[in-house]
Amino acid sequence: MANSYFKFRQFRIDQEDCAMKVCTDACILGAWYASKFVSKDRGYPKFLNTGNQDSTYFLGSDAGNFSGVKNILDVGSGTGLLMMMLAQNT
Protein backbone atom coordinates (compact mmCIF):
# COMPACT_ATOMS: atom_id res chain seq x y z
CA MET A 1 0.00 0.00 0.00
CA ALA A 2 1.28 3.46 -0.88
CA ASN A 3 1.91 6.11 1.75
CA SER A 4 -0.86 8.58 2.50
CA TYR A 5 1.73 11.38 2.50
CA PHE A 6 4.53 12.71 0.31
CA LYS A 7 7.64 13.94 2.16
CA PHE A 8 10.08 16.53 0.89
CA ARG A 9 13.17 17.91 2.63
CA GLN A 10 11.40 20.53 4.74
CA PHE A 11 7.70 19.77 4.47
CA ARG A 12 5.22 16.93 4.16
CA ILE A 13 1.95 16.81 2.23
CA ASP A 14 -0.76 14.60 3.70
CA GLN A 15 -2.78 13.50 0.70
CA GLU A 16 -4.94 10.64 1.90
CA ASP A 17 -8.24 12.25 0.88
CA CYS A 18 -6.92 14.37 -2.01
CA ALA A 19 -8.27 13.81 -5.50
CA MET A 20 -5.06 15.11 -7.11
CA LYS A 21 -2.12 13.48 -5.38
CA VAL A 22 1.52 14.52 -5.73
CA CYS A 23 2.99 12.92 -8.83
CA THR A 24 6.41 12.61 -10.43
CA ASP A 25 5.57 15.25 -13.05
CA ALA A 26 4.82 17.84 -10.35
CA CYS A 27 8.10 17.05 -8.57
CA ILE A 28 10.11 17.39 -11.78
CA LEU A 29 8.36 20.64 -12.68
CA GLY A 30 8.97 22.03 -9.18
CA ALA A 31 12.65 21.07 -9.33
CA TRP A 32 12.96 22.81 -12.71
CA TYR A 33 11.27 25.97 -11.36
CA ALA A 34 13.59 25.96 -8.36
CA SER A 35 16.65 25.62 -10.60
CA LYS A 36 15.52 28.68 -12.58
CA PHE A 37 14.41 30.87 -9.66
CA VAL A 38 17.03 30.17 -6.98
CA SER A 39 20.24 32.17 -7.21
CA LYS A 40 23.22 29.79 -7.13
CA ASP A 41 25.62 32.29 -5.55
CA ARG A 42 23.32 33.77 -2.89
CA GLY A 43 20.94 30.93 -2.06
CA TYR A 44 17.70 32.92 -2.20
CA PRO A 45 15.15 33.27 -4.97
CA LYS A 46 16.22 35.51 -7.82
CA PHE A 47 12.81 37.16 -7.90
CA LEU A 48 13.42 38.57 -4.41
CA ASN A 49 16.60 40.27 -5.64
CA THR A 50 14.98 42.76 -8.02
CA GLY A 51 14.50 46.45 -7.44
CA ASN A 52 11.41 46.84 -9.58
CA GLN A 53 8.36 46.62 -7.33
CA ASP A 54 5.94 46.11 -10.22
CA SER A 55 7.84 43.29 -11.88
CA THR A 56 5.79 40.08 -12.06
CA TYR A 57 6.61 37.05 -14.18
CA PHE A 58 3.79 35.08 -15.75
CA LEU A 59 4.87 31.53 -16.48
CA GLY A 60 4.84 30.88 -20.19
CA SER A 61 5.19 34.50 -21.28
CA ASP A 62 8.94 34.23 -21.87
CA ALA A 63 9.99 30.80 -20.58
CA GLY A 64 13.53 30.79 -19.23
CA ASN A 65 13.95 34.57 -18.97
CA PHE A 66 13.50 35.36 -15.28
CA SER A 67 15.35 38.67 -15.12
CA GLY A 68 13.54 41.30 -13.08
CA VAL A 69 11.10 38.82 -11.53
CA LYS A 70 9.59 40.01 -8.24
CA ASN A 71 6.44 37.89 -7.78
CA ILE A 72 5.26 34.46 -8.84
CA LEU A 73 1.63 33.46 -9.14
CA ASP A 74 0.95 29.72 -8.87
CA VAL A 75 -2.58 29.28 -10.18
CA GLY A 76 -3.89 25.79 -9.70
CA SER A 77 -6.24 23.61 -7.78
CA GLY A 78 -3.67 21.53 -6.00
CA THR A 79 -1.79 21.72 -2.71
CA GLY A 80 0.55 24.59 -3.60
CA LEU A 81 3.38 22.14 -4.12
CA LEU A 82 5.33 24.34 -6.54
CA MET A 83 5.43 27.31 -4.18
CA MET A 84 6.40 25.12 -1.22
CA MET A 85 9.23 23.60 -3.26
CA LEU A 86 10.49 27.10 -4.10
CA ALA A 87 10.13 28.20 -0.48
CA GLN A 88 12.20 25.32 0.87
CA ASN A 89 15.14 26.53 -1.22
CA THR A 90 15.20 29.94 0.45
More confident residue, 59 or 22: 22
**Inter-residue contact 56 to 71 (CB < 8 Å):** yes
pLDDT tens digits, 29-56: 888 877 776 655 554 454 444 444 444 4
Over residues 61-87, mean pLDDT: 65
Has residue 9 got a pLDDT over 80?
yes
Burial of 2 (0-12, 13-18, 19+ CB in 10 A): exposed
Contact status, residue 45 vs residue 37, Cβ threshold 8 Å: yes
User: pTM value?
Assistant: 0.52
Q: How does residue 68 score in pLDDT terms, banded at 50, 70 and 90?
A: low
Question: What is d(CA 61, CA 11) in angstroms, rounded to the nearest whole number?
Answer: 30
The share of the chain scoring above pLDDT 70, in percent, equals 51
Residue 45, phi then psi, degrees to nearest 5: -60, 135
